Structure 1
């Protein structure tokens, strides 16, 4: 076959490692004997991708392969799907769980692309495998032949609203009906996963959104009283080691963001926050939002990255059920060989989730190199994952059961190794086949029966992926 290949990446990740993985992937593709067309250098931005895409339009292609070398947003993958008529294939590359920075984050990019393509009714095949993985030649043959098509395989049903813990469910419904979500800035381009319609959210559960411009948060942060910030720093130092080791001016800015978010939540009676945490937080203000948002999570005001409103709403439900902080995460790896996955989101976890074997420390963002982030492994225990999903344009409640395992940190920041109740391969198939969002919330404990009752009361189908 004649296959057009477009290797997508971002320069904020580990470029030399990405280039090595791309070269290995091309070597594996060459070994298949198919005729490969297109650039072999990484495409780092929309302009480079559009140039490569224009060249491919003149080719008679049997397949188009998007090589997801690092995380990218889904915008260019959607353009590729619209402008090239050949069947679309996606191949994302795993990376070792080595305890250092998240060097590629390709699974998350694959997840984001799957969601966006499914929303647009686009068919695709997908593969998540290392270029040197056993049996790769068979996997590539299956991918190219159409045997790895993304098809919805989650278990969906419509539960009723009855449940023995009626008081807990009633509490969740009341909290949802009155919930006010502070939306600070816009979600990033190409993140359909974080888009929301305020009217649809009101119909869903009664919650409302309070729009806040990002410069307004920056202004509040800059105006915070120095004495107040000194007190916040002193209190933080009692629970978080390593504060003296990070850039102190950037740390001060981070703590001021916490003060600004706290004031906004109090003054506007906000139950949760959805914050545009990049790039302007780094490029215009000069710090990471992760630590401040982790502190808000610890204060029981769930804070969702990338202005993910439905993610914040999902975290609020789990917090209400668990009576303790919840967390919104990326699923950054699924490994069928060990039957485990890794959840991560920079350094956003509240201190209550720290494994005692890894005392919490301050650190810097793995890509942008600025504080403040929390760093520790997530503690072991039973967890429940959930998400108000809009996958394929259908409102549902996604739920999953899993166990967080005691394991060393897979990546810097806050991360945890978990085992879903369904095997890792099945979970991956359900996520990609259903086109689920790249964020889900979790809390410690078993809350699936209560969540099913909440869904029943809201008239929502339940989509169980594990």
Structure 2
């Protein structure tokens, strides 16, 4: 959830303020209680703003608490210039909130204040209603979560292991543009560091992790060539190496080029990428770390934003195939589906019981385990930050992951690369529209409908939203 500041506005006439102060405090109490009940942390202004000095000092103190969103609360008529002064002391996102009491003209105060902010070009949002209305509290929460997600990007560091993969322009972003729009720095790290540190990684942990996978996965299918216990441990040591580099460089999210150097001469990064994106590994629960294959920068950025909004692991996949007879898409890419998606369970054993480790396919002569499973069914938000003529847009849609009987699942998976992880998606987008204007080969997904928060995040970032609908 988010940290929300609440600052109440009042009338600047002493005799009026003294008569309405208790009413303001009572309505603020109801608002704060509703927000806290919804799981948010609330930072309250010390007192309602009733003079110029308070208009600067109160919001400045709230801002010092590093709130994600500041709510200017209008329970009564309030002098509009108090809002102007308060906005000057509030650097972050702003929401004007009015009550709907017919006796006290809070709505008038909000409109007067909002119009004044419009005149100076200060971006803000407006809501109105009774704090007892759960829809209003949810709408505030959506804006707060979006603001928190955007704030989490600023000052973060992306670790880019390797360069552009296989000429894939959509995987490479302009670092100046990232810094200007998102506030993100990019740390360039050579893939040799993965190879070098993997050789130095803890052999005991690698062996224990291999045995853990052998116990809990649905199957580890050694073939004596592309997949052996030694190669699987090399993949695990690569995960340990990247985890060490993440800690050393203070990386907030990352991407690994992989192809062709590692996949031809060392090992695939499938185990590394899957378990970085998972909320657990063989050591127990952990924080997810967004890691994009093919060092896809905009893909990783999309995933990081989705992670902050949804609070779950995020799917990374190629838009691999469209089954026109069923109107479903096979979202499939080597390694990138966190094993959590197999059952979306808090229990790793339940997820891993649906996961097979198969020998890598023809494309990857270095070998290793491919993390094979089929994503569990359910409603999804699918999104991708892409660029058109240099400008960012968030391409966004709803969809459903589907599964079928075992025979149908197998037949559909075998039409593409069976050994890789799959998600069968029915998109709320017409195939001809999607294929005509979707701006990348990679797409990302989280469970649930998070479009309102994503729209708000894009509004805060100045990014256009491009939605697909049927």
Any unmatched runs of 5+ in structure 1?
Answer: 1-158
What is the match of residue 427 of structure 1?
Answer: 434
Q: Distance in 2 between matches of 1:337 and 1:241?
A: 31
**Residues 36-79 of structure 1: CA distance to partner in whole angstroms, max 9, x if unpaired?**
xxxxxxxxxxxxxxxxxxxxxxxxxxxxxxxxxxxxxxxxxxxx
Q: Distance in 1 between matches of 2:464 and 2:254?
A: 25
Q: Distance in 2 between matches of 1:378 and 1:363?
A: 17
Any unmatched runs of 5+ in structure 2?
Answer: 1-122, 127-138, 280-287, 344-349
What is the match of residue 365 of structure 1?
Answer: 360
Q: Distance in 2 between matches of 1:257 and 1:454?
A: 34
DSSP-derived class of the 2:216 partner: coil
What is the match of residue 192 of structure 2?
Answer: 215
- 1:365 to partner: Cα distance: 2.2
Asked if residue 301 in structure 1 is aligned to residue 298 in structure 2, the reply is no
What is the match of residue 216 of structure 2?
Answer: 239
Asked if residue 418 in structure 1 is aligned to residue 425 in structure 2, the reply is yes
What is the match of residue 175 of structure 1?
Answer: 152
Over 3 Å counting, the alpha-carbon distance change for 1:212 and 1:167 in structure 2 is same
What is the match of residue 178 of structure 2?
Answer: 201
What is the match of residue 353 of structure 1?
Answer: 341
- The more displaced of 259-268 and 449-458 is 259-268
Over 3 Å counting, the alpha-carbon distance change for 1:430 and 1:282 in structure 2 is closer
Question: Under a length normalisation based on structure 2, what TM-score does the superposition of the two structures give?
Answer: 0.61
What is the match of residue 167 of structure 2?
Answer: 190
CA contact (8 A) 1:315 1:326 kept: yes
- Aligned ranges 1:64-213 → 2 under 5 Å: 163-164=139-140, 165-213=142-190
- 1:225 to partner: Cα distance: 1.8
Pick from 221, 229, 252 the counterpart of residue 248 of structure 1: 229
Q: Higher relative contact order by CA 8 Å / sep ≥ 6: 1 or 2?
A: 1
Asked if residue 280 in structure 1 is aligned to residue 261 in structure 2, the reply is yes
Pick from 378, 388, 396 the counterpart of residue 399 of structure 1: 396
Asked if residue 330 in structure 1 is aligned to residue 321 in structure 2, the reply is no
Q: Supply the RMSD in Å over aligned alpha carbons.
A: 2.1
Residues paired across the two proteins, number = 303
CA contact (8 A) 1:336 1:423 kept: no
What is the match of residue 290 of structure 1?
Answer: 270
Asked if residue 269 in structure 1 is aligned to residue 272 in structure 2, the reply is no
CA contact (8 A) 2:273 2:335 kept: no
- 1:238 to partner: Cα distance: 4.0
CA contact (8 A) 2:316 2:445 kept: yes
Over 3 Å counting, the alpha-carbon distance change for 1:170 and 1:334 in structure 2 is same
Over 3 Å counting, the alpha-carbon distance change for 1:353 and 1:214 in structure 2 is same
- 1:386 to partner: Cα distance: 1.4
Question: Under a length normalisation based on structure 1, what TM-score does the superposition of the two structures give?
Answer: 0.62
- 1:361 to partner: Cα distance: 1.1
DSSP-derived class of the 1:346 partner: coil
Q: Distance in 2 between matches of 1:364 and 1:440?
A: 25
**Residues 171-220 of structure 1: CA distance to partner in whole angstroms, max 9, x if unpaired?**
20121113211100002242111111111111121111111011111111
